Amino acid sequence: MNHGVNGVALGVFVFFFVAVTVMGFLAARWRRADNVDNAASLDEWGLGGRSFGTWITWFLLGGDLYTAYTFVAVPAAVYAAGAAGFFAVPYTILVYPLIFTFLPRLWSVSHKHGYVTTSDFVRGRFGSKGLSLAVALTGILATMPYIALQLVGIQAVLDVMGVGGGENTNWFVKDLPLLIAFAVLAAYTYSSGLRAPALIAFVKDGLIYIVILVAIIYIPIKLGGFDDIFAKAGHAFEQVNPATGKPRGELASGDKAQWAYGTLALGSALALFMYPHSITATLSSRSRNVIRRNTTILPLYSLMLGLLALLGFMAIAAGVKVKNGQLAIPQLFENMFPDWFAGVAFAAIGIGALVPAAIMSIAAANLFTRNIYKDFIKPAATPAQEAKVSKLVSLLVKVGALVFVLTMDKTVAINFQLLGGIWILQTFPALVGGLFTRWFHRWALLAGWAVGMVYGTVAAYGVASPTQKHFGGSNDQIPGIGEIGYIGLTAFVLNVIVTVVLTVVLRAVKAPAGVDETSPSDYTADVGDPGVQAELPPATAGAPGGH
């Protein structure tokens, strides 16, 4: 690895970083509400006025779901283990038909009742602040390491460019570039709210598509074609890993890996839109049709992801040698591209971290404000007070993520993100189940959630890897089957079983079921229907990204 500073790449990176920073601050005036009271509300700051059309929502969701962690970690997983890293491709294919069935219903009921978070809906549907609090705390807990990993992505790029992350004895000098990036992110998120990542997402996604298109054509030509790439990768995976005594990986998934591969893909698909940032981007759209259109065109990102995963094989064929697999793809770009285009690629990764990190911090802050601060601390909080608290909490969330990155080993951060996926999946019965039926009892849902959380955490704690004793991965033996599978899905099944059994018991003894403040018509309501108005219309009618 080159430990010197790549001045040209750094210059290009800084250019794009400054450009999106300016955009981030200017976004405060983009599509802003005319009404001063509305402009100070959580709907305005945290959901962009609920006014985004198909085009903006597509870029926002793409920028939200396909993060710097995706850009770095998916091909890094392929680089390290081969076929197992491709699980991300089928899971992003599975997820869109799934969300087509429930996201429009969530949009409708949320728009009708002014819900900002999933916990708002759970509280309104089941009449339970306890269940709402459990969903909120799970969302915040699962989001924190996810934000940290976006900062890990930025740090990986800075490391390869020779700026920060190296072996400097002065920790402040080593981490200064990351601290600067964090400060800028925090400032424009505080100032502009969800509009900042929405606007920057156009640049981020454009850069990523350009880099992937060039990489998938240019790098194979330099490496002698895909035949040579797959041959070299296959030979590398046949080599025995001294730490495990087994082959390093597989070019194609074998029989023993199929349960792990399938359950991880399915569990990840079920979990993806349980994350608060996914819901925040969804609720910012202006109509049900925007959601429907996006579920049909977002699979274009899955095509990009499949091509992106191939970069892991290319890194092996190019002879990239790194101790930290997260550096494999940035190092590949530096080795194979001219310096100026390497800078473009690094900017794509860096900006690809800023967009989701901003949305995630906003989503976590909204959960705290609506479902902890307002429900339990200050029920009479005004919309302006809600927005102010959410802004401050978004800063605290990012500080927490930064401390996480600077004080913990990066592999630990990655494994905590895997744990986050296990946790967030346990909110599925309350959210998605609640969108279609009121049959589940609120206490049963809370008990099922608790069982899933405890089992998932304990099982993950017991998983060892060659580098650590605990939290070494997200797969373990499935009880009763004996196959190795995704812990999150096993915990989810236990969650559902407990919920169903206890619901039968609690309904039999006529336990209080709570008050449902929604009605059946709320789940199909759209803009223009009684009580469902287009909220906070933008000040500039000609702004891009309408219907």
Task: Give the per-residue pLDDT at 178.
Answer: 77
User: Could you read off the pLDDT of 270-299 as tens digits, one per residue?
Assistant: 998 899 988 988 888 888 888 888 888 888
What is the sign, positive or negative, of the torsion defined by CA atoms of 182, 187, 191, 197?
Answer: negative
256: tokens are 């023993």
Residue 239 class from Cβ within 10 Å (0-12 exposed, 13-18 middle, 19+ buried)?
A: exposed
* Phi, psi of 317, rounded to the nearest 5 degrees: -65, -30
Q: What percent of the chain has pLDDT over 70?
A: 88
Helix (H) / strand (E) containing 228: helix 226-238
Whether the predicted pLDDT of 542 surpasses 90: no
pTM of the full structure: 0.88
Domains of the chain: 7-406 (1.20.1730.10)
- CA 426 to CA 270: how far, in whole Å? 10
Q: Per-residue confidence at 350, pLDDT binned at 50, 70, 90?
A: confident
- The predicted model gives 368-392 an average pLDDT of 91
Distance CA 363, CA 272 (A): 14
